[in-house]
Copies of this chain bind each other. A is one copy, B any other.
Amino acid sequence: MSANAAGAKALVFDVFGTVVDWHGSVAREVRGLAREKGLRVNAAKFAKAWRAGYRPAMDRVLRGEAPFEKIDVIHRAILEDVLKQFKVATLTEEEKARLNLVWHRLKPWPDAVRGLKRLKAKLIIATLSNGNTSLLVDMAKHGGLPWDCVFSSDTFKLFKPDPGMYLGAAGMLDLKPEEVMMVAAHKPDLRAAAACGLKTAFVKRPLEHGRGTALDLASEPEFTVNAESFLDLADQLGC
Protein backbone atom coordinates (compact mmCIF):
# COMPACT_ATOMS: atom_id res chain seq x y z
CA MET A 1 0.00 0.00 0.00
CA SER A 2 1.26 3.51 -0.71
CA ALA A 3 2.32 5.46 2.37
CA ASN A 4 -0.43 8.02 1.74
CA ALA A 5 -3.17 5.39 1.62
CA ALA A 6 -2.09 3.74 4.88
CA GLY A 7 -4.57 4.12 7.69
CA ALA A 8 -7.72 3.90 5.56
CA LYS A 9 -10.12 1.50 7.31
CA ALA A 10 -13.23 2.11 5.22
CA LEU A 11 -13.88 2.96 1.60
CA VAL A 12 -17.05 4.89 0.75
CA PHE A 13 -18.13 4.80 -2.87
CA ASP A 14 -19.88 7.15 -5.17
CA VAL A 15 -22.20 4.84 -7.11
CA PHE A 16 -23.70 6.33 -10.31
CA GLY A 17 -20.87 6.23 -12.84
CA THR A 18 -18.25 4.99 -10.39
CA VAL A 19 -19.66 1.54 -9.55
CA VAL A 20 -22.40 1.19 -12.16
CA ASP A 21 -22.79 2.22 -15.80
CA TRP A 22 -25.83 4.52 -15.75
CA HIS A 23 -25.47 5.62 -19.35
CA GLY A 24 -25.33 2.16 -20.90
CA SER A 25 -27.99 0.74 -18.59
CA VAL A 26 -30.51 3.54 -19.10
CA ALA A 27 -29.92 3.75 -22.86
CA ARG A 28 -30.41 -0.02 -23.17
CA GLU A 29 -33.75 0.04 -21.37
CA VAL A 30 -34.95 3.10 -23.28
CA ARG A 31 -33.98 1.42 -26.55
CA GLY A 32 -35.90 -1.72 -25.58
CA LEU A 33 -38.98 0.24 -24.58
CA ALA A 34 -38.83 2.30 -27.79
CA ARG A 35 -38.70 -0.87 -29.88
CA GLU A 36 -41.60 -2.38 -27.96
CA LYS A 37 -43.75 0.74 -28.29
CA GLY A 38 -42.65 1.68 -31.82
CA LEU A 39 -41.15 5.00 -30.72
CA ARG A 40 -38.28 6.84 -32.44
CA VAL A 41 -36.01 8.01 -29.66
CA ASN A 42 -32.23 8.52 -29.53
CA ALA A 43 -31.73 6.40 -26.41
CA ALA A 44 -28.19 7.62 -25.68
CA LYS A 45 -29.30 11.27 -25.79
CA PHE A 46 -32.37 10.43 -23.72
CA ALA A 47 -30.15 8.89 -21.01
CA LYS A 48 -27.89 11.96 -20.96
CA ALA A 49 -30.81 14.38 -20.79
CA TRP A 50 -32.33 12.45 -17.87
CA ARG A 51 -29.03 12.47 -16.00
CA ALA A 52 -28.44 16.15 -16.76
CA GLY A 53 -31.46 17.20 -14.71
CA TYR A 54 -30.14 15.51 -11.59
CA ARG A 55 -27.46 17.90 -10.32
CA PRO A 56 -29.58 21.08 -10.69
CA ALA A 57 -32.44 19.41 -8.76
CA MET A 58 -30.14 18.45 -5.88
CA ASP A 59 -28.58 21.90 -5.86
CA ARG A 60 -32.04 23.46 -5.39
CA VAL A 61 -32.43 21.29 -2.26
CA LEU A 62 -28.95 22.21 -0.98
CA ARG A 63 -29.69 25.92 -1.50
CA GLY A 64 -32.90 25.51 0.53
CA GLU A 65 -35.13 26.32 -2.46
CA ALA A 66 -36.82 22.91 -2.42
CA PRO A 67 -37.49 20.37 0.35
CA PHE A 68 -35.41 17.18 0.55
CA GLU A 69 -36.74 14.52 -1.82
CA LYS A 70 -35.51 11.03 -2.60
CA ILE A 71 -33.76 10.65 -5.94
CA ASP A 72 -36.59 8.36 -7.09
CA VAL A 73 -38.92 11.35 -6.84
CA ILE A 74 -36.42 13.69 -8.48
CA HIS A 75 -35.80 11.20 -11.30
CA ARG A 76 -39.53 10.94 -11.92
CA ALA A 77 -39.98 14.70 -12.20
CA ILE A 78 -37.05 14.94 -14.62
CA LEU A 79 -38.43 11.99 -16.61
CA GLU A 80 -41.67 13.88 -17.24
CA ASP A 81 -39.68 16.82 -18.65
CA VAL A 82 -37.46 14.58 -20.77
CA LEU A 83 -40.44 12.71 -22.21
CA LYS A 84 -41.89 16.06 -23.31
CA GLN A 85 -38.54 17.17 -24.71
CA PHE A 86 -38.29 13.94 -26.75
CA LYS A 87 -41.97 14.17 -27.75
CA VAL A 88 -42.89 10.83 -26.20
CA ALA A 89 -46.55 11.02 -25.18
CA THR A 90 -47.72 7.40 -25.34
CA LEU A 91 -46.29 5.83 -22.18
CA THR A 92 -48.81 4.60 -19.63
CA GLU A 93 -48.43 5.49 -15.96
CA GLU A 94 -47.26 1.93 -15.33
CA GLU A 95 -44.63 2.13 -18.06
CA LYS A 96 -43.34 5.43 -16.70
CA ALA A 97 -43.17 4.06 -13.15
CA ARG A 98 -41.29 1.00 -14.39
CA LEU A 99 -38.92 3.07 -16.54
CA ASN A 100 -38.18 5.35 -13.58
CA LEU A 101 -36.93 2.32 -11.64
CA VAL A 102 -34.26 1.64 -14.27
CA TRP A 103 -31.95 3.50 -11.85
CA HIS A 104 -32.50 0.59 -9.40
CA ARG A 105 -31.28 -1.84 -12.09
CA LEU A 106 -28.08 -0.15 -13.30
CA LYS A 107 -25.36 -2.66 -14.22
CA PRO A 108 -21.99 -2.70 -12.45
CA TRP A 109 -18.87 -1.95 -14.52
CA PRO A 110 -17.17 -5.27 -15.44
CA ASP A 111 -14.46 -4.90 -12.76
CA ALA A 112 -16.74 -3.64 -9.98
CA VAL A 113 -17.95 -6.80 -8.23
CA ARG A 114 -14.58 -8.55 -8.36
CA GLY A 115 -12.82 -5.43 -7.13
CA LEU A 116 -15.30 -4.84 -4.31
CA LYS A 117 -14.93 -8.44 -3.09
CA ARG A 118 -11.16 -8.03 -2.86
CA LEU A 119 -11.44 -4.68 -1.09
CA LYS A 120 -14.11 -6.03 1.29
CA ALA A 121 -11.80 -8.78 2.51
CA LYS A 122 -9.58 -6.17 4.24
CA LEU A 123 -11.63 -2.99 4.50
CA ILE A 124 -15.18 -1.82 5.18
CA ILE A 125 -16.91 -0.98 1.90
CA ALA A 126 -20.00 1.22 1.88
CA THR A 127 -21.95 3.32 -0.57
CA LEU A 128 -21.97 7.08 -0.10
CA SER A 129 -24.40 8.02 -2.80
CA ASN A 130 -26.99 10.63 -3.59
CA GLY A 131 -29.27 7.72 -4.48
CA ASN A 132 -31.89 6.65 -1.95
CA THR A 133 -31.57 3.57 0.22
CA SER A 134 -34.16 1.42 -1.58
CA LEU A 135 -32.53 2.22 -4.91
CA LEU A 136 -29.08 1.25 -3.62
CA VAL A 137 -30.36 -1.95 -1.97
CA ASP A 138 -32.24 -3.03 -5.10
CA MET A 139 -29.22 -2.25 -7.25
CA ALA A 140 -26.92 -4.27 -4.98
CA LYS A 141 -29.26 -7.27 -5.13
CA HIS A 142 -29.57 -7.05 -8.93
CA GLY A 143 -25.86 -6.61 -9.49
CA GLY A 144 -24.33 -8.62 -6.64
CA LEU A 145 -22.62 -5.62 -5.02
CA PRO A 146 -21.39 -6.88 -1.63
CA TRP A 147 -21.68 -3.71 0.48
CA ASP A 148 -21.02 -3.88 4.20
CA CYS A 149 -23.27 -0.90 4.65
CA VAL A 150 -25.43 1.48 2.60
CA PHE A 151 -25.14 5.23 3.22
CA SER A 152 -27.41 7.30 1.05
CA SER A 153 -28.87 10.78 0.74
CA ASP A 154 -31.83 9.68 2.84
CA THR A 155 -29.56 8.46 5.63
CA PHE A 156 -28.56 12.08 6.17
CA LYS A 157 -31.37 13.97 4.34
CA LEU A 158 -28.62 15.72 2.40
CA PHE A 159 -26.83 15.40 -0.91
CA LYS A 160 -23.15 15.44 -1.73
CA PRO A 161 -21.17 17.69 -1.77
CA ASP A 162 -22.63 18.79 1.58
CA PRO A 163 -19.93 18.07 4.22
CA GLY A 164 -22.61 16.38 6.34
CA MET A 165 -22.57 13.44 3.94
CA TYR A 166 -18.81 12.77 4.22
CA LEU A 167 -18.52 13.50 7.93
CA GLY A 168 -21.82 11.71 8.60
CA ALA A 169 -20.51 8.47 7.09
CA ALA A 170 -17.25 8.69 9.07
CA GLY A 171 -19.23 9.40 12.24
CA MET A 172 -21.57 6.45 11.77
CA LEU A 173 -18.56 4.19 11.28
CA ASP A 174 -16.86 5.73 14.35
CA LEU A 175 -13.83 6.52 12.24
CA LYS A 176 -11.78 9.68 11.92
CA PRO A 177 -12.17 11.41 8.54
CA GLU A 178 -8.62 10.40 7.59
CA GLU A 179 -9.50 6.73 8.20
CA VAL A 180 -12.12 6.90 5.42
CA MET A 181 -11.36 7.02 1.70
CA MET A 182 -13.89 8.41 -0.77
CA VAL A 183 -13.84 6.52 -4.09
CA ALA A 184 -15.33 8.32 -7.10
CA ALA A 185 -15.02 8.90 -10.81
CA HIS A 186 -15.82 12.58 -10.26
CA LYS A 187 -13.23 15.10 -9.14
CA PRO A 188 -15.64 17.56 -7.45
CA ASP A 189 -16.94 14.75 -5.19
CA LEU A 190 -13.36 13.85 -4.20
CA ARG A 191 -12.39 17.47 -3.61
CA ALA A 192 -15.39 17.94 -1.29
CA ALA A 193 -14.42 14.76 0.59
CA ALA A 194 -10.79 15.91 0.87
CA ALA A 195 -11.95 19.25 2.29
CA CYS A 196 -13.56 17.21 5.12
CA GLY A 197 -10.29 15.37 5.75
CA LEU A 198 -11.10 12.11 3.94
CA LYS A 199 -8.59 10.28 1.79
CA THR A 200 -9.49 10.09 -1.90
CA ALA A 201 -9.34 7.59 -4.76
CA PHE A 202 -10.03 8.74 -8.30
CA VAL A 203 -11.21 5.86 -10.48
CA LYS A 204 -11.30 6.53 -14.21
CA ARG A 205 -14.50 5.64 -16.03
CA PRO A 206 -13.90 6.74 -19.62
CA LEU A 207 -17.26 5.40 -20.83
CA GLU A 208 -19.42 6.99 -18.12
CA HIS A 209 -21.21 9.16 -20.69
CA GLY A 210 -21.01 6.56 -23.48
CA ARG A 211 -18.63 6.54 -26.42
CA GLY A 212 -17.49 9.78 -28.00
CA THR A 213 -17.77 12.02 -24.92
CA ALA A 214 -14.43 13.41 -23.77
CA LEU A 215 -14.06 13.35 -19.98
CA ASP A 216 -11.32 14.71 -17.73
CA LEU A 217 -9.46 11.51 -16.90
CA ALA A 218 -6.13 13.02 -15.86
CA SER A 219 -4.57 11.66 -12.68
CA GLU A 220 -4.11 14.34 -10.03
CA PRO A 221 -1.41 14.36 -7.37
CA GLU A 222 -3.92 15.92 -4.94
CA PHE A 223 -5.76 12.55 -4.72
CA THR A 224 -4.42 9.84 -2.42
CA VAL A 225 -4.81 7.25 -5.19
CA ASN A 226 -5.50 7.45 -8.93
CA ALA A 227 -6.72 4.12 -10.33
CA GLU A 228 -7.73 2.65 -13.67
CA SER A 229 -10.34 0.29 -12.15
CA PHE A 230 -11.42 -1.26 -8.84
CA LEU A 231 -8.92 -4.08 -9.47
CA ASP A 232 -6.13 -1.51 -9.80
CA LEU A 233 -7.45 0.19 -6.65
CA ALA A 234 -7.33 -3.17 -4.81
CA ASP A 235 -3.75 -3.70 -6.02
CA GLN A 236 -2.69 -0.23 -4.87
CA LEU A 237 -4.33 -0.72 -1.44
CA GLY A 238 -2.71 -4.13 -0.99
CA CYS A 239 -6.04 -6.00 -1.06
Chain A contacts to B: CB under 8 angstroms: 70, 72, 124, 126, 132-134, 137, 140-141, 147-150, 154-155, 172-175
Complexed CA–CA distance, A174 and B134 (Å): 6
SS class of chain A's interface: helix, strand, loop or mixed? mixed
Contact B174 A72 (CB under 8 A): yes
Contact A149 B137 (CB under 8 A): yes
Contact A134 B172 (CB under 8 A): yes
Contact A148 B154 (CB under 8 A): no
7 contacts between A and B (CB under 8 A): A124-B137, A134-B174, A137-B149, A140-B148, A141-B148, A147-B148, A150-B150
Residues of B within 8 A of A126 (CB): 137
Contact A173 B137 (CB under 8 A): yes
Contact A172 B154 (CB under 8 A): yes
Which residue in chain B gives the minimum CB-CB distance to A150? B149
CB A140 to nearest CB in B, in angstroms, measures 6
Residues of B within 8 A of A133 (CB): 149, 172-173
Which residue in chain B gives the minimum CB-CB distance to A141? B148
Complexed CA–CA distance, A81 and B175 (Å): 27
User: Which of B150, B154, B173 is in CB contact (< 8 Å) with A134?
Assistant: B173
Residues of B within 8 A of A149 (CB): 133, 137, 149-150
Which residue in chain B gives the minimum CB-CB distance to A135? B174
Complexed CA–CA distance, A124 and B140 (Å): 10
Contact A137 B148 (CB under 8 A): yes
Complexed CA–CA distance, A137 and B140 (Å): 17
User: Which of B70, B124, B140, B150 is in CB contact (< 8 Å) with A141?
Assistant: B124
| Shortest 4 CB-CB contacts between residues of A and residues of B | A134-B174, A133-B172, A149-B150, A134-B173
Complexed CA–CA distance, A183 and B175 (Å): 30
CB A167 to nearest CB in B, in angstroms, measures 14
CB A122 to nearest CB in B, in angstroms, measures 10
